[in-house]
Amino acid sequence: MRTLLRHLFLENWPRKTIAIALAVIIWFVVNQSLTTTRIISNVSVRVINLPQGKTVEGMQSNGMLAKRVSLTLSGNKDMLDDMTSNDLEVVIDGSDASGEYSVSIQKKNLVSLNPEIEIASGINRVSAATLLIRPMRLVTEKIPVIVTSPIGEAPRGYQFLDVFPYRLYLTVSGPEKVIKQLKDRELRLTFNLNEISRAQLDSLAEAINNEKQTDEVSFLIPDAWKQISIPALSDIPFTIDDPDAKLLRIDFVRRNLLPLDMPIPLILFYPAEYLSTLNPGTLQLTASDLVENRWGTFLITKPLAVKGVSRLFLEIVREMMQIVIIAEPARDQSILPWSLQFIDSRKLENEYVSLLQADESNEEINNLQPELREEYLRNRFRSYMNRLQLFKPNDVKFDLHPVVQGNTVKVQE
């Protein structure tokens, strides 16, 4: 065995070494000479050297076109087999762009993004569909951004109240046609309440209540959320640059039961179209286990509570609330619609706004500009009016069944 190995490796070893070296050289030369043709899809296109004040339709802020191209490449097999669309891009010189023109993509238009790929030596031929370039005027505009009502659910123990500000502006530059379309349709910014935890709101509420008693919590929007995507202009979201974006907040109110401590009047409303048959002479309220007649006024005296509002709001409106039952033609035992209404709501709103504007300790509100502060407070008051709900002291929602019985309306739970 030892003799055989000596014979194989040691005898005539100079000739054998030369033979192995030649074999390696021949393999390398042959391998490098192997060519193939391959289609690379989704290749990015960049336009450079555009005249000042010009852009190209579909060009994003980074100079890339939104449209991508497919290239048919012929060249070194090893290099093309490993190549992806991320390894190269098409670069077009737009210095002579004056009007619409066609570009035939050639080898000179290819730029390697991978230092291990040598386009000059590895690619022999390039073919692709003709690319149409449409130069346009570059404009810069402020695009309206509407902050919509959030999606998702508020954390347990809290109720969504409002989002503020409702309208912002984003400054962007791009092709005149695209910018005009953006201005016409406006942009939408929507937050997700599911991304806000109860622990975050509890922490905010604790910090506020250490200074003053309140049922309201404002969650300031993080900078990372103040972004909006415009695919026609960039693959990267834009950060809203409006100075008022720093005020962005979502307001919550604790879902605490607040005792009403006040009887609620009931009245019948007679729509004008039914007055010939439904009027105070043909249909009236009557007392029941739930409704008491005091001096000709019908009242619900049963203890009730409310949810979805602040203590301050309740203090202002508690004596100016009533339940209105709508008289409608109906058969016996049918249930009439009803609603909770506020008397002289404009006066109540003014009182609410005046009290909070005079509260110098409320830095959160006082930091707003005067006109924004008033708009913010008035919208909060109106939101409370829409959200107030009646409950029983055991936290069960209070509901009424006004039933027509002959020429009377009997109100039951």
- pLDDT tens profile 36-72: 888 888 888 888 888 888 888 778 877 888 888 888 8
In this predicted structure, the answer to whether residue 3 has a pLDDT above a threshold of 80 is no
Pick from 26-35, 69-78, 274-283: least confident: 26-35
Closest CA to 364 of 243, 201, 250, 238: 250
pLDDT at residue number 176: 85
Q: What is the pLDDT of residues 281-333, one digit of tens each?
A: 888 898 988 889 999 899 998 999 998 898 899 999 999 999 999 988 866 55
Q: What is the pLDDT of residue 351?
A: 94
Structural contact between residues 129 and 70, judged by C-beta atoms closer than 8 angstroms: yes
Coil, helix or strand at residue 180: helix
pLDDT > 80? residue 360: no
Of 342, 380, 347, the residue nearest 362 (C-alpha): 380
Write the CA distances from 266 to 92, 319, 321, 340, 409, integer angstroms. 76, 13, 9, 9, 11
Between vectors from CA 162 to CA 307 and to CA 215, what angle results, nearest 5°? 45
pLDDT for residue 71: 85
Q: What pLDDT is stored for residue 298 in this prediction? A: 92
pLDDT value, residue 10: 56
- Show the DSSP H helices in 35-88 as ranges: 77-82
DSSP secondary structure code for residue 129 in this structure = P
158/30: higher pLDDT: 158
> In whole angstroms, how far apart are CA 319 and each of 207, 305, 326?
32, 14, 21
Please compute, for residue 239, the number of CA atoms within 13 A of its CA located in the half-sphere on the CB side: 7
What pLDDT is stored for residue 58 in this prediction? Answer: 77
Contact 169, 142 (CB under 8 A): yes
Q: How many CB atoms lie within 10 A of CB 259?
A: 13
Strand order in the sheet with 264-269: 291-294, 297-300, 264-269, 321-326, 338-342
pLDDT of 257 strictly over 70: yes
Per-residue pLDDT at 205: 82
Q: What is the dihedral of CA 353, 391, 156, 385, to 10 degrees?
A: -20
Q: What pLDDT score was predicted for residue 403?
A: 87
Residue 170 has a pLDDT of: 94
When the pLDDT of each residue in the chain is averaged and rounded to a whole number, the result is 84
Q: Rounded to whole angstroms, how far apart are CA atoms 133 and 68?
A: 13
- Asked if residues 230 and 173 have their Cβ atoms less than 8 Å apart, the reply is no
**Contact between residue 64 and residue 44 where contact means Cβ atoms under 8 Å apart:** yes
pLDDT of 27 reads 52
The model's pLDDT over 374-386, given as tens digits with 9 standing for 90+, comes to 888 998 999 999 9
pLDDT of residue 33: 52
Q: Count CB neighbours of 120 within 10 A.
A: 9
Residue range 402-407: mean pLDDT, rounded: 86
Range in 81-90, 137-146, 263-272, 303-312 the model is least confident about = 81-90
How much of the chain exceeds pLDDT 90, in percent? 30
Residue 20: predicted pLDDT:
66
Residue 136: closest CA among 249, 260, 50: 50
Structure tokens of 331?
Answer: 């058969």
pLDDT bin (cut points 50, 70, 90) of residue 105 is confident
Query: What are residue 232's phi and psi, to 5 degrees?
Result: -70, -20
**Residue among 402, 398, 260 at smallest CA distance from 324:** 402
pTM: 0.71
CA distance 13 to 4: 14
Token pair for 86: 């991320």
Q: How far apart are CA 38 and CA 125, in angstroms?
A: 11
Give the angle 287-291-293 at the CA atoms, nearest 5°: 60
Count the neighbouring beta carbons within 10 Å of the beta carbon of residue 344: 11
Q: pLDDT per residue over 212-256, tens digit each?
A: 567 888 899 999 999 999 888 888 899 999 998 998 999 998 888
Comparing 4-18, 319-333, 337-351, the range with the smallest average pLDDT is: 4-18
In sequence order, which ranges of 34-112 are alpha helices (DSSP H)? 77-82
Which of 3-7, 14-18, 72-76, 333-337 tops mean pLDDT?
72-76
